[in-house]
Amino acid sequence: MRIGELAHQAGVDVQTVRYYEREGLLASPSRTQSGYRAYGPAHLERLNFVRHCRSLDMPLAEIKRLIDLSSDARVSCEQVDALVRTHLERVQTKRKALEALEAQLQALSAQCASGHRVADCGILEELIHAAHGEACACHPHAE
Amino acid sequence: MRIGELAHQAGVDVQTVRYYEREGLLASPSRTQSGYRAYGPAHLERLNFVRHCRSLDMPLAEIKRLIDLSSDARVSCEQVDALVRTHLERVQTKRKALEALEAQLQALSAQCASGHRVADCGILEELIHAAHGEACACHPHAE
DNA sequence: CGAAACCCTGTAGCGGCTACAAGGTCAACC
DNA sequence: GGTTGACCTTGTAGCCGCTACAGGGTTTCG
């Protein structure tokens, strides 16, 4: 299997495959006489594994650690679980931040009664006013 | 006010201030004889405005547009509102994606009964199995 | 034989910073 | 007046996970 076929099977870009190889997530395959990469089914399996982890938004460094852990059958599974749970916490934190963000943006949009000019715009006023200080917790007040 | 003072007041890094100037979000201030940047209160206000928008996760390009819009009092406020609403939609989409992600990671972590070796690990099995295909919608199956 | 589709390497770009190097300036203190 | 240290200047490179070139070689098909 050449790189285009592999990439197509896994639903990724050819460049991404080469990138994963460079980053050590995918073993370097053997080469044909003309220097083309020649992949086997094991490479596809690994690539699919990486893509699945990426679809769970794991950073490549963590996926790499996961691969290293899984290649050693003696390792306790708790390390794998800890990695997943740490990642889960990251995702939770981000989700909560986005929820708060959403509420703020919604409130902001509600400021705007239609048909007027920016000079009287509630949104901009709100943004500039909030930027002034106390009202908003988003930027730390230096003392 | 010199750059360190300005940055401190706004709670940002000095480098970030220079970066905003390069990107056209902050007007180039006048300089002292020795070439130091000299800021006034208007610069601080603008910087706070940018930071507030950033805390709402708006990309710099959009903040720039917002500044351009707000500097022209004749512009209809609807454009400002549209910008905010578009951004709100982006945030909502992302938040929903993270919610789905969270559920998947939680399910994954539940696979792991403690105290065993990775050879029998539910998580890895699940990840590799899911990577194999049908089970998971995350990677498109090529035909 | 020639065109199109594939492959190769190397490099640069995205966003929003952050960090470093190598120097100049300024205020305080001995 | 010399020296320390905190500040400032510019320019450049790094982070992440790709993506998109440029400039070549190879394979495949008609």
Element (H, E) at B119: none
| Whether pLDDT at A116 is above 80 | no
Chain B, 16-75: which CBs lie within 7 Å of strand D?
Answer: 18, 35-37
The string over B18-38, giving b where at least 16 C-beta atoms fall within 10 Å of a residue's C-beta and e elsewhere, is eebbeeebbeebeeeeeeebe
Residue-wise pLDDT for B76-135, tens only, equals 777 888 888 889 988 898 888 888 888 888 877 777 665 566 666 667 777 776 655 444
Task: Give me A91's structure tokens.
Answer: 């995702």
- The pTM (predicted TM-score) of the whole model is 0.78
Neighbour count for residue A43 (Cβ, 10 Å): 22
CB B112 within 8 A of CB A69: no
Task: Please tell me the distance from the alpha carbon of residue B56 to that of residue A123, in angstroms, as a whole number.
Answer: 13
The reply to whether A28 has its C-beta less than 7 Å from any atom of strand D is no
Task: Please tell me the distance from the alpha carbon of residue B79 to that of residue B82, in angstroms, as a whole number.
Answer: 5
Q: Do B117 and A81 touch (CB under 8 A)?
A: no
**Which ranges in chain B belong to alpha helices (H)?**
3-10, 14-22, 41-55, 60-70, 77-110, 122-132
* Cα separation of the two ends of chain A: 64
Nucleotides of C under 7 A from a protein CB: 6-10, 15-20, 24-26
B143 in contact with chain A, both atoms CB, cutoff 8 A: no
Residue-wise pLDDT for A31-86, tens only, equals 999 999 999 999 999 999 999 889 888 999 999 988 888 877 677 777 888 888 88
Residue-wise pLDDT for B35-60, tens only, equals 999 999 999 999 999 998 898 889 99
Task: Find the angle CA(A100)-CA(A102)-CA(A104) to the nearest 5 degrees.
Answer: 70
Four-residue CA torsion sign, B115, B107, B97, B118: positive
Best probe of the A interface among B43, B56, B65, B74, by most A CBs < 10 A, is B56
Comparison of pLDDT for A20 and B137, the residue scoring more: A20
Task: Please tell me the distance from the alpha carbon of residue B57 to that of residue B43, in angstroms, as a whole number.
Answer: 21
Q: Sorting pLDDT into bands at 50, 70 and 90, what band is B143?
A: very low
Extended beta strands in A6-128, E state: 30-31, 37-38
The reply to whether B32 has its C-beta less than 7 Å from any atom of strand C is yes
